[in-house]
Structure 1
Amino acid sequence: MKQPQFPPHQMLKIDHPQVYIHSYQLSDESKTDADSIWTWANSLWQYFSQDKSLVFSQANLNYPLTKPNKFAHSNQIDGSLKFCRIDDSEGILARIGSPETDENKDLEVITALTQFNVNNLLVADSHENWIGQTFLITYKSETYQQPSDNDFRKVADECLKHLFPEASVRPPFYRATRLFDSPMFEYSSPKSQVQVFVYLVDDDIEGKLGKIIQPLFELFYHRHKITKAFIDSRRNYDLLKKRYLEIEQTIENLEAKITEVSRIELPNGVDSQQSVNIDESLKYLKIKLKELLRESLNYERALEYLEDFNNTINIHVYNYQEKLLQIGDKLQLPTDDLTTFKFFIERNCRYFQEQLKGDLGYFKHGTDLIKIAVELVGGIVDIEQAECDRSLERTIQILGTGLGAGGIVVSAVSAYVQTPIEFRIPQKGDVLHPAVASLLWSFLAVVIVAGVVGLLNGTWKINGRLRLFRRKSVAQLPDSQSQPVNHILQQTEEVRDERQGD
């Protein structure tokens, strides 16, 4: 195409500028039209159209893009609105531009584009279901000379500056490219939900763009779905990291209590259990086990959301590539000629996918940590509870055996008791009454038998304790930087062995 010359000392002028606005949001049948792109579309229509009665809503949706609802604001501004349903989303394609008449040639950039965006009407308000917007600004020029790339960049910068007078709305310059051998400038960032292209066109390029309105509209849609999923994944990443640290802190606190419950000191070579309140410790461990299970559930849900974002990106990357093929087929061009749009899929999307792959790999180790911790605490609680039950059982066994032996002795001795008991003050030389003697023998039998049974049970208990808490070497979880957490992991095998032994 012929290239225009932009005189350096004159006001920049363009012919027939057009602004194509591709806007998208997620569908929500229960949502009202307030705070949505429908509010935005109706604001545009009410401002530019002479027909103030027409109101747009989800009922106007169709696939593919509907026929245009046209309006004429003045001799300098006209436009149209089209609507489309795509997958789980809604899209609106709005055009605001100058009619192709002689009076709309050599327009000053500042005059033309500022009138298109009075009160910043072209930018939709961000809301929960909003996905993003792509602006395609096209213009022509009849001054055919040989300009430099700096001249085109100057026009693009001025178009952006006057279309978006508020600096907070204006996206930064991203890169310069060419489409159909004509300069195009992109203003955005890899994680921006607003994207702007400024493009020099002629009649031939306008014809090509007319052939690919639908696939280009869907291409921008998939681009925003990918970007929105990645932006949401960053918020989810922060939440996962916070919950991961909370779980680590919970496990560190548990480590202190487990150590208290299981600590054994060996003073002067004699084994002894430290005096601790076992009932209180077990109650604490049971409460913390429930908290850990609840935190584990929240963590798993957040991890599932991260996996969903990753799947969303992968799906729309595929769909984006399919739309590139459709555009190439319609224009009978290889996709290599569409580098303007391939750049996003080859550079940005690859970065998004690798980032999420790394995040998932890191946080999935957290689920292993939680499972080990839950199993460990559950094992400690079961073992300590079993120990308490066995302790009560041993006490009953000892007393029962002793009392049984005492009863036997009493029965044996009582047969020889012939003298009735007389209650009197003991005198010198008196001997024990046979009944009293039998009671003493019975008591002595209880003490001796209970002591022997208790000694046998106590030896088993001490050996069992030593076997339970003997340290073993196990691998540490590589992603945990916490020494107490790794110390807990070293007890996993002991707990598993003890539970199997029980």
Structure 2
Amino acid sequence: MLKIDHPQIYIYSYQLSRESKTEVKSIWTWANNIWQHFSHEKELIFSQANLGYPLTKVKKFSHSNKIDGSFKFCLLDDSEGILARIGSPETDENKDIDIAALKIFNVNNLMLAESYEDWLGQTIFITYKLQTYQPPTKKYLREVADKCLKNLFPETSVHPPFYRDTQLLGSPIFEYSSLKSQLQVFVYLVDDEIEEKLGQILQPLFELFYYRHKITTAFIDSRKNYDLLKGLYAKIEGIIANLETKIAHFESNNDVASQENVNTDESLTSLKSTLKQLLRESLDYERVLESLEDFNNTINIHVYNYQEKLAQICDKWQASPENLTTFKFFIDRNSPYFQKQIQGDLGYFKHGTDLIKIAVDLVAGIVDIEQAEIDRSLERTIQILGTGLGAGGLVVSAVANYVEREIVFRIPQNGDRIHPAVASLLWSLLAVIVVSGLVGWINGAWKINQYRWFRRKSEPRRLSDAQSPPVNDMLQEAAEVRSPTEQE
């Protein structure tokens, strides 16, 4: 049966600071549950008022001859942290105890804080000693570590899986971690000298674990953003595919062979409606994309902070970073993976913004062309009618001087002749029609619809290709139509 001496369990728990002062289902609920269970001072309640920097003075409790503990609190940037210790007092009766006795340290899983909205994560650091006259084998120590977790967390679904083992200050340390549950556990064989050195890095180690959880939480949140972006990207692609279909239909309706079927107002309204939908979705898309960039920046910042704390530990221990592979591995292997993954996602999803821009420019080009054609057609119509009406007015004014007979309204009789005034009106209408027709023919107004939206029949191109000839042709045509309008 495996036995250990003076097991100590250090629990590092972190959460984001809350804007509201409610502390229900928070890190404070977790701390007070432990205190109420083990301490005799039931009336003491911990809250944000206990926070300070660096770690506050210790608040101790004594449950029995088998269990005692303490609490420390710390305010870190935008977060709150609690360091709790539950362990066996340094007495002879707590030497050579069965590992199964660890069950009483974690009644009803008191050690584990529930995951909630502001939760950052938890690191549990288990230390123990052994009464041996020769160094134990690595296999034996791994068995001890597995038994410690099994007894502290009887439910196999609770404790994280084994991750890796390393050496810290010359003694084996075993790590169990799960990124998904934001829980990390170390089991470490110590002696009096190692315990003293751990006491020297109390604050840097507390902040080191904090930055680790900030990094992992940012990465976990980025995966949620990835799923959101993926859904929005698919939705935008569907809208653009619908837009392509409408543009193709719009162009075919404006072809020479189908002029009688053209309904420009309805087509433009449909295009504008789809464009508005695209712009709404693109706004949500940009917001989620910005959040993904924020997570990337958060990881970059806290990678630097983590390295700073690692350097402080090296200074305290007068050790090189190579001797701290237990903590250095995370910053050398895990963090770069997080950063590259998010950067890859950003590179992929930023193509979506280019796709949106091309689609918006294309529809804007179509609307500009159509509006320019309408304006030019209206100008020519006004010019033609104005010229014709002017000519008709001249004819009326010229003929009116020779009209001397008064108009008498009666039933026409055989032999009646057209009254000169009526003849003048007819000559005026004839002048309007002839002159308007002549001016229209000279200005080419009758040819507008003939060449309007003329396109060579070809296979449809995808909007996502920024060099797509239809897009360039459409925008070039918009510029050509604007130019003569401005000259006029």
TM, length-normalised to structure 1: 0.88
1:497 is matched with: 479
Question: Equivalent residues in 2 for 1:247-286 (5 A)?
Answer: 247-263=236-252, 264-267=254-257, 273=259, 275-286=261-272
Which deviates more, 68-77 or 175-184?
Answer: 175-184
Deviation by residue 1:153-181 (Cα, 9 ceiling, x = unmatched): 11111111111112222111111211112
Mark the CA change 1:276 to 1:307 in structure 2 (over 3 Å): closer, same or farther: same
Question: Amino acid of the residue matched to residue 458 of structure 1?
Answer: A
**SS in structure 1 of the partner of residue 141 of structure 2:** helix
Task: Answer with 27-36 or 340-349: which moved more.
Answer: 27-36
Residues 368 and 478, structure 2, Cα contact 8 Å, conserved in 1: no
Between the aligned partners of 2:311 and 2:466, the Cα distance in structure 1 is: 55
What SS does the aligned partner of 1:286 have?
helix
Please give the alpha-carbon distance, in whole angstroms, between the structure 2 residues aligned to 1:432 and 1:387: 44
Q: Distance in 2 between matches of 1:418 and 1:387?
A: 48
Pick from 451, 455, 458: which aligns with 2:445?
A: 458
Change beyond 3 A, Cα 1:274–1:186: farther
Residues of 1 paired with 2:456 and 2:52: CA distance? Answer: 71
Asked if residue 149 in structure 1 is aligned to residue 135 in structure 2, the reply is no
Say if 2:372 and 2:482, in contact at 8 Å, map to a contact too: no
Which letter does structure 2 place at the counterpart of 1:89?
Answer: S
The answer for the alignment partner of 1:427 in structure 2 is 414
1:367-408: CA deviations, max 9, x gaps?
222223223323322332343344334333333322222222
Q: Judging changes above 3 Å, is the alpha-carbon distance between structure 1 residues 98 and 56 closer, same or farther for their aligned structure 2 residues?
A: same
CA contact (8 A) 1:65 1:83 kept: yes
Shift of 1:462: 4.2
How big is the alpha-carbon RMSD for the aligned residues of Structure 1 and Structure 2? 2.8
Q: Aligned AA for 1:144?
A: Y
The superposition leaves residues 247-291 of structure 1 with CA deviations (integer Å, 9 ceiling, x where unpaired) of 222222223333333433344xxxx63623222333333333333
Query: Does the alignment pair 1:48 with 2:35?
Result: no
Alignment check: 8 A CA contact 1:474 1:489 kept = no
2:57 alignment partner in structure 1: 67
- Indicate if the aligned counterparts of 2:3 and 2:98 stay in contact, CA closer than 8 A: yes
| TM-fit CA distance, 1:499 | 7.0
| Structure 2 counterparts to residues 348-387 of structure 1, below 5 A | 348-387=334-373
2:319 aligned residue (304, 326, 333): 333
Contact 1:80 1:95 in 2 (8 A): yes
Partners of 2:162 and 2:260 lie apart in 1 by 69
Question: 2:176·2:185 contact (CA, 8 Å) conserved in 1?
Answer: yes
Instruction: State how many pairs are aligned.
Output: 481
Partner of 1:210: 199
Give the aligned partner of residue 102 of structure 2. 113
Correspondence for 1:302 among 285, 288, 293: 288
- CA distance in 2 between partners of 1:195 and 1:145 (Å): 30
Alpha-carbon separation, structure 2, partners of 1:35 and 1:20: 21
> Which stretch shifts more, 87-96 or 165-174?
165-174
Does 1:125 pair with 2:114? yes
**SS where residue 306 of structure 2 aligns?**
helix
Q: 1:89 to 1:274 in 2, by over 3 A?
A: farther
- DSSP 3-state at the match of 1:337: helix
Counterpart in the other structure of 1:140: 129
Partner SS, residue 261 of structure 2: coil
Normalised to the residue count of structure 2, the TM-score between the two structures is: 0.90
Partner SS state of residue 188, structure 1: strand
Shift of 1:31: 3.6
Task: Give deviations 1:113-153, integer Å, cap 9, x for gaps.
Answer: 11000011000011111100000111111033454322111
* C-alpha separation in 1, matches of 2:413 and 2:435: 31
Gaps of 5+ in 1: 1-10
| Residues 1:414 and 2:400 aligned together | yes
The match for 2:91 among 94, 101, 104 is 101
Q: Is 1:226 matched with 2:226?
A: no
Identity rate of aligned residues, in percent?
A: 66
Partner SS for 2:114: coil
Shift of 1:466: 4.8
Judge conservation of contact 1:109–1:158 (CA < 8 Å) in 2.
Answer: yes
Q: Is the 8 A contact 2:15 2:81 kept in 1?
A: yes
For 1:488 and 1:78, locate their aligned partners in 2 and report how far apart those are by CA, in whole Å.
Answer: 77
Aligned to 1:86: 76
Give the match for residue 174 of structure 1.
163
Q: Partners in 2 of 1:108 and 1:41 — Cα distance?
A: 27
CA contact (8 A) 1:252 1:484 kept: no
Residue in structure 2 matching 1:398, options 353, 366, 384: 384
How far, CA to CA, are the matches of 1:98 and 1:45 in structure 2? 16
Q: Deviations over 1:42-62 (max 9, x none)?
A: 111000011111111111111
Q: Note the residue ranges of structure 2 that are not aligned, 5 or more in a row.
A: none
Distance 1:238 1:486, change over 3 A: farther
Deviation of residue 450 (structure 1)?
1.9
